[in-house]
Amino acid sequence: MKNAVILCAGLGKRLLPLTEDKPKCLVEVGAAPMLYYSIKELIANGFKQIVLVTGYKKERIQSFIFNYFGQSSATFTFLPNPEYDTKNNLYSVYIAKEFFDDETLLLNSDILYDPEILKRAVVQLEAGHDDSFLVVDDVKPLAQEEMKVITNGNGKIVDIGKWLEPSKSLGEYIGIMHLRGEGRDKFFVESSKMLSNGETDKYYEDALHRVCRQISLVPVSTKGMHWTEVDDHKDLQKAKDIALKIIKEIPEDVS
């Protein structure tokens, strides 16, 4: 059974004052909150269980799900991260550990993307390959601040991080990931070790960086389709522009 874990615990400080009374993922993008688009697309692609790791204003997310998706075919689980304001998203992923299996996608909640991007991830997920994968934009020009990936001659991801040299990188990781089998096990062992060592300020990509050479991790290309991460007001305007382009592709009936 395909299932998804969505990270929704963040504060969204750079989107103030819009996030004074709501988490970042519920900021309006076009006709609906940002999170709406991902959940609609997940349900349309056959995902039956969706786990939301919540934190800041978590009750707003619960109300949103009830109001928008209370009659849908999916089952929703709310997993509160009580330390969302002192620990980074590595901890949010780790506390959802029990929900990960070979049919799980992890998604960041602050992304907006063409529905075809998720379909490409689902095709890779359903193919049953032994590889874990990251969805990567390997088309747009890279700058210094992006979460970049480097691949080797066999097409496997061997490094991930914002500090990587753009000229040596394949592209930008967009925030959709699948961890499979041994790769998933090694990721969570490393995550546990990092958190036990007090590295609570780390991103989950930092744990991936430490294990990616030990596992089979491949990129799934966006093929140049529209997407954006929403960190600030400039990103939000870009997301609104993308929403106008893709809104006709968002399925209306996902019950």
Q: Give me the mean pLDDT over the 226-236 stretch.
A: 94
Distances (CA, A) of 194 to 22, 145, 149, 187, 239: 30, 23, 21, 11, 33
Q: Which residue has the higher pLDDT, 70 or 150?
A: 150
Find out whether 35 and 27 touch, Cβ atoms under 8 Å: no
Length of the chain: 255
Query: Look-up: residue for tokens 């744990």?
Result: 207
Average pLDDT over residues 106-117: 97
Q: What is the CATH number of domain 3-249?
A: 3.90.550.10
In sequence order, which residues have a C-beta less than 8 Å from that of residue 101 and are 6 or more positions away?
3
> φ and ψ at 222, to 5 degrees?
-75, -10
pLDDT of residue 143: 87
Contact 99, 217 (CB under 8 A): no
What's the whole-number mean pLDDT along residues 60-77? Answer: 95
From the list 37, 11, 61, the residue with the least C-alpha distance to 228 is: 37
pLDDT for residue 223: 97
pLDDT confidence tier of residue 248, bands split at 50, 70 and 90: low
The DSSP element (H or E) to which 172 belongs, if any, is: strand 171-178
DSSP code for 77: E
More confident residue, 204 or 70: 204
Residue 244: what pLDDT? 86
Mean pLDDT of 114-141: 96
CA dihedral 153, 159, 161, 162 (to 10 degrees): -30
The answer to whether residues 141 and 224 touch, using CB atoms and an 8 Å cutoff, is no
Q: What is the mean pLDDT of the chain?
A: 94
Which band of pLDDT confidence, cut at 50, 70 and 90, is reported for residue 31? confident
Summarised one tens digit per residue, pLDDT across range 130-147 is 999 999 999 999 988 899
Residue 255 has pLDDT above 60, yes or no: no
Of 102-111, 137-146, 174-183, 216-225, where does mean pLDDT reach its minimum?
A: 137-146
User: From CA 71, how far away is CA 68, in angstroms rounded?
Assistant: 8
- Asked if the model's pLDDT at residue 252 lies above 90, the reply is no
Average pLDDT over residues 121-129: 94
What's the mean pLDDT in 190-207? 97
Alpha carbons 110 and 141: distance in angstroms, whole number: 21
Least confidently predicted of 68-82, 204-218, 236-250: 236-250
Give the position of tokens 């019950």.
255
Residue 83 pLDDT > 60: yes
Strand partners, 159: 150
Local confidence band at 254 (pLDDT 50, 70, 90 cut-offs): low
- Domain ranges in the chain? 3-249
Q: What is the pLDDT of residue 144?
A: 86
Per-residue pLDDT of 5-21, as tens digits, reads 999 998 899 999 999 99
Neighbouring residues of 20: CB distance < 8 A, sequence distance ≥ 6: none
Higher pLDDT, 252 or 223: 223
Q: How far is CA 165 from the centre of its chain?
A: 23
Q: Which of 160, 145, 151, 136 is nearest to 221 (CA)?
A: 136
Q: Which pLDDT score, from 0 to 100, does residue 246 have? A: 76
71 DSSP 8-state letter = T
